[in-house]
Amino acid sequence: MKVNNIDISNLSAINKVAIANITAINKVVVGTSTPTTRTMLLDFKGAASTSAGATYNLLVNPSGAATFSNLFDTDLQNTGIALGVDNSFLTSDGGYPTDGTGLFNDLAFLSLWYNAATAPRVLEFQNLDNSKLYRLVFVPSRATTASYYTTFTINGVTQTILAKNNTSIIADFVDIAPTSGKITVSVGAVSGYYYINAGLISWTE
């Protein structure tokens, strides 16, 4: 009798069982891989604020349509993902600077992009893997007394968030499949103004 091409015919029954069990365990270990979750953090830079941290992609408001390339994950590894915006925003450091989500930090809440409800914008994540499913999270927050609601829409599904002094409510889209390597996010407002302070996109490899 052979196990792993080793003749064990002269071994005791106990030794034969032990070797067989070790072989079975080795097969299981070799055949098992642990999925890895990668996360990419986005900091929408305000009027004068600095980055929320080294693990954040600091997005400086463009003067018009633009694409942010070479975005990295929280391990500072290039993801190959790019983010396109269809036009410029207004900027502010008037976010409510307290992160209660556990996903971001206080500095990420402080800075923001915003605009009037009459000027919605489109964000487009590019160079995604069509075989993967993605989670996208966005947070709108503004230190204010005005009750303005920000809307985020992906694939016809809209999540509406009250930005007023928001510290913990997020727009959270899960298991989103790209189309031709892209996921499009429409950002707008019910009335008044809309805000976007921080975001993330994560996936499993």
CATH class of 37-204: mainly beta
Distances in Å between the Cα of 130 and the Cα atoms of 37, 78, 181 are 16, 18, 6
Instruction: Give the pLDDT score at 17.
Output: 47
Encode 167-192: b = buried (16+ Cβ within 10 Å), e = exposed.
Answer: eeebbebeebebeeeebbbbbbbeee
Instruction: Give the pLDDT score at 28.
Output: 43
**Order of all β-strands in the sheet with 193-196:** 90-92, 112-116, 193-196
Q: Which amino acid is at 111?
A: S
Q: What are the structural domain ranges in the chain?
A: 1-32, 37-204
Which residues, in sequence order, are CB contacts of 131 under 8 Å at separation 6+?
Answer: none
Rounded distance, CA 43 to CA 50, Å?
A: 10
Give the alpha-carbon dihedral of 117, 112, 122, 183, to 10 degrees: -140
Instruction: Give the pLDDT score at 15.
Output: 54
Rounded distance, CA 103 to CA 52, Å?
A: 12
Instruction: Give the pLDDT score at 11.
Output: 55
Radius of gyration over every alpha carbon of the chain, rounded to an integer in angstroms: 24
- In the chain, what are the helix, strand and coil shares in percent, each to the nearest 5? 10, 40, 45
Which residues, in sequence order, are CB contacts of 192 under 8 Å at separation 6+?
Answer: 116, 117, 146, 148
* DSSP tally for the chain: helices H, then strands E: 2, 16
In this prediction, the residues of the chain whose per-residue pLDDT falls under 70 are 1-32
Which residues, in sequence order, are CB contacts of 3 under 8 Å at separation 6+?
Answer: 16, 19, 20, 23
Please, is 164 exposed, middle or buried when counting C-beta atoms within 10 Å of its C-beta (0-12, 13-18, 19+)?
Answer: middle
Instruction: Give the pLDDT score at 195.
Output: 98
Record the pTM.
Answer: 0.84
Query: Do 116 and 189 meet the contact criterion of CB atoms below 8 Å apart?
Result: yes
Instruction: Give the pLDDT score at 10.
Output: 60
